[in-house]
A and B are shown apart, each in its own frame.
Chain A
Amino acid sequence: MIQSSLSRRYFLGECGVGLGKIAAASLLTNNLAGRSLEPRPAHTRPKAKAVIHLFMAGAPSQLELFDPKPHLSKLEGSPLPKSIIGDQRYAFIQPDAAVLGPQFEFKQYGDTRATLGLPLAPLGAVADDLCIVKSCTTDQFNHAPAQLFLNSGFSQPGRPCLGSWTLYGLGSETENLPAFVVMSTGGGLSGGSALWSSGFLPTTYTGVQFRKGKDPILNVSTPEGISNDLQKDTFGLVNQLNAKRHAVINDDEIATRMASYEMAARLQSSAPELMDLKGESDETINLYGCDRDKHSFARACLLARRMVQRGVRFINIYHSGWDAHSNVKGSTENNCKQTAQATAALIQDLKRHGLLDETLVVWGGEFGRTPMVETNPALGRKAGRDHHPQAFTTLMAGGGTKPGTYGETDDFGFHITKDKVHVHDLQATILYLLGFDHERLTYHHAGRDFRLTDVHGQIAHDLLA
């Protein structure tokens, strides 16, 4: 592998143009934007230095996992009162569909009496770290728009996502890894790559996908048939020729490109090092319940902890497969089996590494699920739940959040009755934890200042520690 010290030494000494410092400092700068990835201060003292967003794509059922509604069992088979439903449009069901009662028992855990459905029992172990927000609400009732909305504050592609805003505001603290990483397990995603797009922000702030397989970052491995020596010499030759050009043209952009090659060389060794779990103890591997080499949600969680340790700022782990239009019971069990233990492990592991205080873990989907049942023989569906934008639950842990349960819904789990947290409020709160005033984190584009929360957003102060 390339020793970065070699190329660094070359920059600082041999190449003779004295640009190492300039270039390294301005690495990844975008020449249009006026901001770079240099670390920079936030608006206020940040509580969280990093965010791990476990995005439960497809939308888990809050009625099975967080928000027990025994009343629904009593109503089972009959429709909800019209006054409750209002003029809500649905994706698949008719508004007068019958009610479906909770499919699982609930138990309370820890001193905070955190209420969790049976499939999430493993989370009971970290109950006293959980900030359970039962009163989340969104504007969108279809997957792609709702996933985009939660990430970018807008239902159409084209705006920067939370991770991009974070980088734009704070810069990067890692020189060896991308500062905004995206991993994905389960099926393909509704929102696609727009979910981690930098939108109108410079492309530098786009999330970098870590993929399964041997090449976590696209093209990070030296191609087959090319020896380490050759790779090293090629980097060397390219930099020497670029340096010569720089001496003639005198454009700092060339120095920046040379620095980008230096970082590419470093990535070639730091990415495999990051992905190599040999150094993790069996105890840790068992805690997460993952395999050292096999791609899974649990392994992604462990990688996320390692990334945080290495200064990665924002990590998205998408787990799709929650879209339980049929058999909400089986689907919930199955998805919890893949995610619950690992989520608990991540929180425990961050905590014992002393990282939880400054790492915000977010767990949740893009909307909730209907109290009404989805049954449709024509589509082969029964005992499922449709999309429900009015109320859903998001979990948070660490990063300056206050453990406890927040918000309430009505007896049907349909509407929020107390402490509503709109998606824009959630975004404002996360930005606040990162040290931003969401009204001041703006970017001038297309004739006006844009922000993640548009013209909305209230910080949910009650859930801050």
Chain B
Amino acid sequence: MDLSSRITKFILIASTLGASGAASAKDSEAISFSKDIRPILSANCFKCHGPDDARDDKGKSLRKAGLRLDIADNQDWKEVVSRIISKDPDEIMPPPEANKNLTPEEIKILKRWIKEGANYEKHWAFVAPKKSPIPAGKHAIDHLHRKPLAEKADAYTLVRRVHLDIIGLPPSIEVADRFAADPSPEAYAAIVDELLKSPRYGERWARRWLDLARYADTNGYEKDRDRSIWPYRDYVIRSLNADKPFDQFTIEQLAGDMLPNATPEQIIATGFHRNTMLNEEGGIDPLEFRFHAMTDRVATTGTTWLGLTTGCAQCHTHKYDPITHHDYYGLMAYFDNTLEPDYHIPNPTLAEKQKENFAKAEKLLAELPNRWPDPTGKINFKPSTVSSVEAKNAKLSIDQIFITPSGEVPDRDTYTITIETKQPEIAALRLKTFAMNGSGPGRTEHGNFVLSEIEVTASPLDESSPPTKITLHNPSASIEQEGFPVGNAIDGEPATGWAIHDPSKGIDQNHYADFFFEQPVSQPSGTRFTITLHQDHGSNHTIGSFQICLGQTSNPGGNPKEHLNKSYEEWLAKIQPDLTPWQVLTPSEFTANTPYLTLEDDGIIFAAGDISKHDIFTLTFPAAAQPVHSIRLEALTDERLPESGPGMTYYEGRKGDFFMSEFQIKTDKPLTFSGASETAFGAQYGQGNAAASAAIDGDIQSGWSLKTQIGTNQTAVFNLAEAIPPGTPFEIKMHFGRHFASTLGKFRISGSPLPKIKAIDHQGTLNDFLLQAPEVKKHVDQIKALRKPLKRDQTLVMQERPSDHSRQTHLRHRGEYTQPKDVVEPRLPNAIFPEGKEFPKDRLELARWLVSPENPLTARVVVNRHWAAFFGEGIVPTVDDFGMQGKLPTNPALLDHLAVTFMERDWSLKELHRLIVTSAAYQQQSIIASSSAPRFPRQRLEAEIIRDSALHAAGLLGSKMFGRPVRPPQPAGVSEVAYGRPKWNPAQGEDRFRRSIYTYQKRTAPFAMFTTFDAGSGEACLARRDRSNTPLQALTLMNDPMFIEIADHYAKLIEKSQGDTEEKIILAFRRLLTRPPEPDEVRLLSDFHQNHESWKALTRAILSLDESVTKN
């Protein structure tokens, strides 16, 4: 649209809604400061004569002018006016370099105002809204509208409009036809009722709220890794569907964690301000980016609830609005005193299951001693010397151990292997197979084989008796392909067999099968075993590389119980030195540079708060009664830590890990270590292990960390070269961090008088023994699996810091993180908060004040934003700015009435929506009769509604709600530009075409179709979206593979429908556009269909129409 038509449009809207623009005072009316004067002063003078009174380091005012024009002061108005009308470039105000020229009309109004007494008024938005009287039976909106209305829209237009507005989807043809047959107000009201009850309602309106909340499923900035905060998104949908009063909705999101007995829902709600971005770039200063998140929280709160732009005041006092530099940090102080944990959402079902699992594990553990194997059954497999191998088709190469076939691959084969041995007590054999050249042990192209049958005979070497067949039983295998268990190889059935392909594992692995003899074989002269491997599956499923091991029984005739006891004692003797009784050492003083430390029970220390790239814990220990020769550091898990810890790493590295670069100890002199050990360690990126010994090597770049053992308790033991004598106090210093912050979150220190103890993670009990014994590994694995914590869904939340560790907020000179100045207490700008009253003192009180009747802004800002959602333009056109620079409300009485009504009706958004859509103003038709005629403003639909409507029309949109974000199809390469070139694997099945609100949102590479249609990236609070109209949108609708796929489904649905071609065309048209097509439209579509004979071509064209992406 060119400028002139846009201006026309603006006037149209303005006149429709009852505008009174600035600088348009009628001669007959008294001049109003708010309406007529402040806009002139604000636009031209406040930059220098406004609230900003910033001072430089020496206290000198930086404001260019001393005189203030934004407040009633003792101005010499004659002088002011004479300066404004002056022609002298040294005199004239504003000065020429300001590029501001007052119009003669503006000067005239200023003069009149001064003549009328130069009365000041408080800025309109800072005065509490008032309700207007509405005559009985009148619709409030229409009564206050006070302008002529256009005709009512036709039934089809209206029913489509109200559906798109309330649930974000077009109506069904049935609903539309029913309404067309009876377009009565009652029928309309019934439709509105239904729509407000629909679960789709929350999905539609959540999108607008999530724009403000700057919601996304990734962290933003360079790495932009995934985060789990979708439970917050679901909270928003649920709350909107339940019509949760907006005041409660506000309090829960800003301070739900501080409500008494906060419910999980209220805690999840605090995700609102956790939607800030997280920079995970290696090497950043995490606290600097925390500060950036804080400024985002202030700005977002300002926009969302107050409709004020606070950003300017980050660096200096606002030049236009009465928000001082100090106020800004006062507002920040409300949000600053928080911790930012991950919240594991309680899940009763999961908790029950976990309890069951633990109970099962306990039971299995108690039974473990009974599982100790019969020592006679213990088999030692040893490779055997092969004396001959025969095979039907393969040419076999033989060495002592391996048999490697080469040459042509036969379809089937039988190998006969002869082994001669003098060993007694042969009781089993193991068939080992070996992966070959990156493929499997089998000779098929994919590396698999099938062993149909295995047969074994034995005969004495001296030929004293004929060969006898050995009966095999109890087979077991390292892997069994589904449908091909190892038992098949001894079932006497050549059609079945043992195979090794498991899709979850690669084929390129070694595998084996064990077969036990019913009776051990012992021949005094030695035994000749003949083993026959039948491979009759066909298609080359033969074995390529294998080995036969014979198994001998050992320790024949033992008793399992005795054997267990003996094994346990042997083990215990071996580890005895490390089972020293540790003495927990409790520090008398403990400090850290960045986090704060708390002493909990049993000498446990918990770290919380911020962490930095180099954190140092300093622990002072009083003199011990015993010598201390070894120090044990237990790194302990806790649900308060990321991924349960034990570390506090939350960006760049593995969540929940730590990196202890140095562990130092001193008395009155530094002490040296003789060694260190640990129960687990990670690998360093470059070289060497991240073991405990790396924490005592004096190199700050190396250290101890975990990596794969996150979420488990681990221990390191440091042995001192010389013991600390009894009665000597000592100090431990622990250094943490690398190029990212990686501090330990929970730990305990113990001491022992013994030297050279190794770190172990048990107490040497029988259970401890059993849990590591290979003999019962199969059962232990089961126990370990049952003991594994079941993962609950996580989401990001806020948590208030305890009062004894509260954070102080500093004013930042020029808004820079690196320039902290005075401490600032929580406070609100006096322009909106009555002077002399006590400020809300914390986040919860702030949230409550924001939705109290004393706050003149929130209700207005909210109803205005919702008005704009329906009408395309707010009553205050600057939906994000109710300050001096914002536009005036075009209909202040209407705005105020809606705001007060909203509060009175329990802050119900559904009631507000009902009020709006039942007004005649909303139901006007949108046809432009003439440039000045009133009408409902048509608007292009939001990106998500365009996609959802298309899916709906094509019959693809499922009704599945909530849960993890999903990836619909989009062109390959959209995500390629983002860091690490992440792949976009489109979902299959029902997740492929879910409602757009559930689409995975990646900040640095947003879903392309949404971006093309002006959706945000979640990088900043977005109060209004553009509605651009570009060729890229045309290309998307015409060519995007997703739309092609939608068109295809759409076409199939139409093709299957009843009726002749014309009826089908009408159906296709109406599924998306609701109204019946005009005859000439049908004709155009029919001609097209006749020419191309493709329903897909037709549905694709319909999806591309202007009307399809427009709310009429």
Contact = CB atoms under 8 A, between A and B. Distances in A.
Nearest to A241: B1105
Interface of A: 22, 25-34, 36, 89-92, 94, 141-145, 155-158, 184, 187-194, 197, 202-204, 206, 208-209, 211-213, 215, 217-223, 226, 230-231, 233-235, 237-238, 240-242, 244-245, 248-254, 256-258, 260-261, 263-264, 267-268, 376-381, 386-387, 440, 444, 446-448
Contacts of B1038: 219, 231, 234-235, 238, 264
B1031 A244 contact: no
B352 interface: no
A320 to B, nearest CB: 9
Interface stretch (B343-351, B767-775, B802-810, B998-1006): B998-1006
Lowest 3 CB-CB distances: which A-B pairs, in order?
A: A91-B283, A192-B1004, A380-B686
B1030 A192 contact: no
Contacts of A233: 1088, 1091-1092
Q: Which of B281, B688, B972 has the most CB of A within 10 A?
A: B281
A25 B6 CA distance: 14
Of listed B926, B973, B1029, B1105, residue having the most chain A CB within 10 A = B1029
Contacts of B1036: 218-219
A234 B1105 CA distance: 10
A30 B281 contact: no
Given A142-B281, A378-B686, A267 B1035 contact: yes
Contacts of B318: 447
B686 A193 contact: no
B1028 A203 contact: yes
Contacts of B277: 156-157
Given A203-B1028, A234-B1038, A238-B1101, A144 B701 contact: no
27 contacts: A28-B1029, A29-B1029, A31-B9, A31-B1029, A36-B2, A144-B221, A156-B1020, A157-B1019, A192-B221, A213-B973, A218-B1036, A218-B1040, A219-B1039, A234-B1088, A238-B1105, A241-B1105, A245-B1106, A249-B928, A256-B1, A377-B686, A378-B684, A378-B690, A440-B99, A444-B885, A447-B312, A447-B886, A448-B320
A219 B1106 contact: no
Contacts of B1106: 242, 245, 254, 257-258
A28 B1017 contact: no
Interface string B957-988: 00000000000000111101111111000000
A223 B1030 contact: no
B320 A447 contact: yes
A34 B279 contact: no
B686 A28 contact: no
Given A157-B1017, A234-B1101, A244-B1078, A144 B279 contact: yes
A337 to B, nearest CB: 21
B341 interface: no
A237 B688 contact: no
Interface in B1014-1030: 1014, 1017, 1019-1020, 1024, 1026-1030
Given A28-B1030, A238-B1105, A244 B282 contact: no
A231 B311 CA distance: 48
Contact of B281 (A143, A197, A254): A143
Nearest to B685: A379
Nearest to B319: A448
Given A156-B292, A264-B1035, A91 B282 contact: yes
B883 interface: yes
B625 interface: no
Contacts of B971: 215, 218-219
A330 B99 CA distance: 53
B1107 interface: yes
Interface in B201-216: none
B973 A211 contact: yes
Contacts of B445: none
Counting chain B residues whose Cβ lies within 8 A of the other chain, the interface size class is 35 or more
Given A190-B222, A254-B1106, A263 B686 contact: no
B552 interface: no
B321 interface: yes
B1032 interface: yes
Contacts of A212: 973
A193 B1035 contact: no
A255 B645 CA distance: 60
A240 B1028 contact: no
A244 B221 CA distance: 46
B1112 interface: yes
Contacts of B1008: 218
B437 interface: no
Contacts of A257: 1029, 1034, 1106
B1017 A194 contact: yes
Contacts of A155: 292
Interface of B: 1-3, 5-6, 9, 99, 220-222, 224, 277, 279, 281-285, 292, 296, 303, 308-309, 311-312, 318-321, 684-688, 690, 700-703, 738-739, 880-881, 883-886, 926-929, 938, 940, 971-974, 976-982, 1003-1006, 1008, 1011-1012, 1014, 1017, 1019-1020, 1024, 1026-1036, 1038-1041, 1044, 1078, 1080-1081, 1084-1085, 1088, 1091-1092, 1094, 1097, 1100-1101, 1104-1107, 1112
Given A30-B1029, A31-B6, A448-B885, 19 more contacts: A26-B5, A30-B1027, A156-B277, A156-B296, A203-B1026, A212-B973, A215-B973, A237-B1101, A244-B1078, A244-B1084, A251-B938, A253-B938, A254-B1106, A257-B1106, A378-B690, A379-B684, A379-B685, A446-B309, A447-B312
B571 to A, nearest CB: 36
B1097 A234 contact: yes
Contacts of B221: 144-145, 190, 192
A256 B1110 CA distance: 13
A143 B1091 contact: no
A166 B1104 CA distance: 31
A285 to B, nearest CB: 25
Contacts of B320: 447-448
A194 B1004 contact: yes
Contacts of A187: 979-981
A31 B1 contact: yes
Nearest to A202: B1026
Contacts of A209: 977
B973 to A, nearest CB: 5
A144 B289 CA distance: 12
Question: Which of B319, B739, B1003, B1033: most chain A CB closer than 10 A?
Answer: B739
A94 B1006 CA distance: 36
A240 B1044 CA distance: 21
B1032 A217 contact: yes
A197 B1017 contact: yes
Contacts of A447: 308-309, 311-312, 318, 320-321, 881, 883-886
A191 B321 CA distance: 33
Contacts of B686: 376-381
A353 to B, nearest CB: 27
Contacts of B1107: 241-242, 245
A197 B1097 CA distance: 34
Contact of B979 (A189, A202, A219, A444): A189
Contacts of B739: 91-92, 379
Given A91-B283, A260-B1033, A447-B886, A30 B981 contact: no
A193 B1004 contact: yes
Given A238-B1105, A378-B738, A188 B1100 contact: no
B1035 A217 contact: yes
B283 A92 contact: yes
Nearest to A442: B99
A29 B320 CA distance: 30
Nearest to A267: B1031
B1091 A378 contact: no
Contact of A188 (B99, B308, B929, B981): B981
